[in-house]
Structure 1
Amino acid sequence: MPPPRITVLGECVADAFTEPTSALNELALRVLPGGGPANTAVALARLGTPARFLARLSGDVFGRLFRAHLAASGVDLSHVVEAAEPSTLAVAELDTQGQATFSFHAQATADWQWTSGELAGVDLADTACVHTGSLALVKEPGAVVVEDFLAAAAPRSTISIDPNVRPLLVHPEVYRARLAHWCGFADVLRLSEDDLDLLLPGTMPEQACDTWHAAGARLVVITRGADGALASLDGKRVQVPAVATQVVDTVGAGDAFTAGLLHHLGTRGLLGGRLTELRLGDVEAACRFATQVAALTCSVSGPNPPWEGQLAQSATAADA
């Protein structure tokens, strides 16, 4: 049986990476299509999950790049809004460990201008899971529209959220003020260790999981880079180690992990509704698969998640 459809809602961002140049008075940029929700949609489609992307895409040069990238990865763009506003741009600098620091150019760009009318006609009848997060949930004026859409979808579809806190663009307090509300309709909360430090400074991961369970989230997964992931299902926990890899950069790794997690759960018929059939062993298996997807994403430049066949090749090579 094929995996059920997952609908992803959120932004596309042009990730511009600085490139070395011999000239003293020039800066070269290499632009790749990115944005947390877009990366997740691409990763899902490449893994074989039918992925529909709800986005507002500009007609500018970056918007055309987004469309080509998403379509080439097999993402369903049938509900994309053709936006008059420009695309969002992020300039990335990589440190020696491949970690990126972004500066955003996102004032009045296409991604944040959602209206209720633009989402009113979206049919979720055959959608097992709706995933969103990052800036789509906190950037006005569209954030409240997105929240309302998720709350309306929650009775029938599993809701997955990745806060993906961007403190240089939106103060962490904005995320903190809304997170308990999101947990009220979210079934899956996936975030990084960096997100945890920004959302609940000084809080142990296990305590943070219990806080978010109490607010309503059934499954909380905290990814910890080279230390793997901590998953907590209604307070029952499991640690999953990272997959060793030669890291080129970590851009898009968390998005790829989320896609791997949801894809694995979907292929086993565990998405849809409130995750009532989910067990800790299912979570552990899904997280182990997700770490493989994330590791392959880290092994290449930029947010370039693996295709299903590449995972099979990687598994074969590991067994050899």
Structure 2
Amino acid sequence: MSPRQITVLGECVADAFTEPARASNELALRVLPGGGPANTAVALARLGTPARFLARLSGDVFGRLFRAHLEASGVDLSDAVTAAEPSTLAVAELDAQGQAAFSFHAQNTADWQWTSGELANVDLSGTACVHTGSLALVSEPGAAVVEEFLAAAAPGATVSIDPNVRPLLVNPQVYRARLTHWCGLADILRLSADDLDLLLPGTPPEQACDLWHAAGARLVVITLGADGALASLDGERVRVPAVATPVVDTVGAGDSFTAGLLHHLGAGGFLGGRLTELGVAEVAEACRFGTQVAALTCSVAGPNPPWQHQLAQLTTAGGA
């Protein structure tokens, strides 16, 4: 079955990575197009899912980079807004394990200025799933508009949310205050172990899943890095191991996992409603696929998710 369209809403961020400079008083940066929702849209399109991205794209040098990257990956930008504000910039420093620490330059940038009018005429009739999250859900003035859009989309589409907590930019308490409401909007909640530690410090993953189920989310998936992923469907759990891979960096790995999860569920015909036909065996298969997509993303620099043919090569190499 060919997957129906997935519409992703959220930010594009210029990810600037520090590199060795030629002189001691210089700082060299290598800029790659990133941002959690943008990474997910790119990964979906490269996997073969029709992906539309609702974004506010600046006309500055970074905005032009975003647009070229998204279009080259096959993402539909027909409903993207041309924004007057500048793009968001994040400067990343990588540790020895390839984990990135970001500093953000995001005050009054294009990504957060959504108005109701900009989303009012978006046609969701062909959309099976709406995915959003990260800073777009907590950065005003646009956050409330995004929540209204999700509520309007829910009757006809599966809703997926990835909180992607950024504590250096937004106090985690802001996420905590809204998370119950998001669970009421979402069918799928995907987050990382780091997100869990920030949202519910000291809470075991299984207990967190039960709290979020009670708030309304049917499927909760917590990615655990090298330990794989824990998925909970209405309280029925499954753990999926990670795929071993040489790690260049982990930037965009969670976004790629989410894309793999949604792509697999969409290809199976499970998206487009409240996941009523979904069972835990199908969830496990979708999570295994997501770990493969994430592993390939970790094997290259920056948020650069694989194309469908690259995933086929990984499957062949693994003997599956």
**Counterpart mapping for 1:143-292 below 5 A:** 143-292=143-292
Distance 1:315 1:193 in 2: 26
Secondary structure at 1:221's aligned position in 2? strand
Distance 1:228 1:85 in 2: 39
Distance 2:155 2:277 in 1: 16
Secondary structure at 1:70's aligned position in 2? helix
Distance 1:146 1:318 in 2: 40
**Counterpart mapping for 1:118-137 below 5 A:** 118-137=118-137
1:3 corresponds to 2:3: yes
Secondary structure at 1:184's aligned position in 2? helix
When the two chains are superposed, the root-mean-square deviation of aligned CA atoms in Å is 0.7
- Counterpart of 2:95 in structure 1 is 95
Distance 1:224 1:258 in 2: 13
1:83 corresponds to 2:114: no
User: What do the CA deviations read for 1:57-85 (whole angstroms, capped 9, x no partner)?
Assistant: 00000000000000000000000000000
- Counterpart of 2:66 in structure 1 is 66
What residue ranges of structure 2 are gaps of 5+ in the alignment? none
Distance 1:240 1:308 in 2: 21
Q: 1:314 Cα deviation (Å)?
A: 1.1
Q: 1:22 Cα deviation (Å)?
A: 3.3
Tell me the TM-score normalized by structure 2.
0.99
User: What do the CA deviations read for 1:101-133 (whole angstroms, capped 9, x no partner)?
Assistant: 000000000000000000000000010000000
Secondary structure at 1:244's aligned position in 2? coil
Q: Give the aligned residue type for 2:201.
A: P
Q: Give the aligned residue type for 1:236.
A: E
Secondary structure at 2:93's aligned position in 1? strand
Secondary structure at 1:319's aligned position in 2? coil
Distance 1:243 1:316 in 2: 14
Distance 2:211 2:30 in 1: 41
Distance 1:86 1:69 in 2: 18
Number of equivalenced pairs = 320
Q: Give the aligned residue type for 1:96.
A: A
Q: Give the aligned residue type for 1:52.
A: R
Distance 1:13 1:316 in 2: 34
Q: 1:319 Cα deviation (Å)?
A: 1.6
- Counterpart of 2:293 in structure 1 is 293
Distance 2:111 2:227 in 1: 33
Distance 2:195 2:20 in 1: 30
Distance 2:163 2:28 in 1: 31
Distance 1:252 1:53 in 2: 17
**Counterpart mapping for 1:44-63 below 5 A:** 44-63=44-63
Distance 2:282 2:186 in 1: 18
Q: Give the aligned residue type for 1:205.
A: P
Distance 1:22 1:62 in 2: 24
Distance 2:238 2:318 in 1: 24
Q: Give the aligned residue type for 2:278.
A: L
Distance 2:185 2:108 in 1: 28
Q: 1:268 Cα deviation (Å)?
A: 0.5
Identity over aligned residues, as a percent? 84
Distance 2:138 2:157 in 1: 22
Distance 2:124 2:39 in 1: 21
Distance 1:318 1:212 in 2: 35
Q: 1:316 Cα deviation (Å)?
A: 1.0
Secondary structure at 1:220's aligned position in 2? strand
Secondary structure at 2:318's aligned position in 1? helix
Distance 2:219 2:57 in 1: 31
Distance 1:55 1:22 in 2: 36
Q: Give the aligned residue type for 2:33.
A: P
Distance 1:280 1:319 in 2: 24
Structure 1 segments, 4+ long, off by >4 Å, are: none
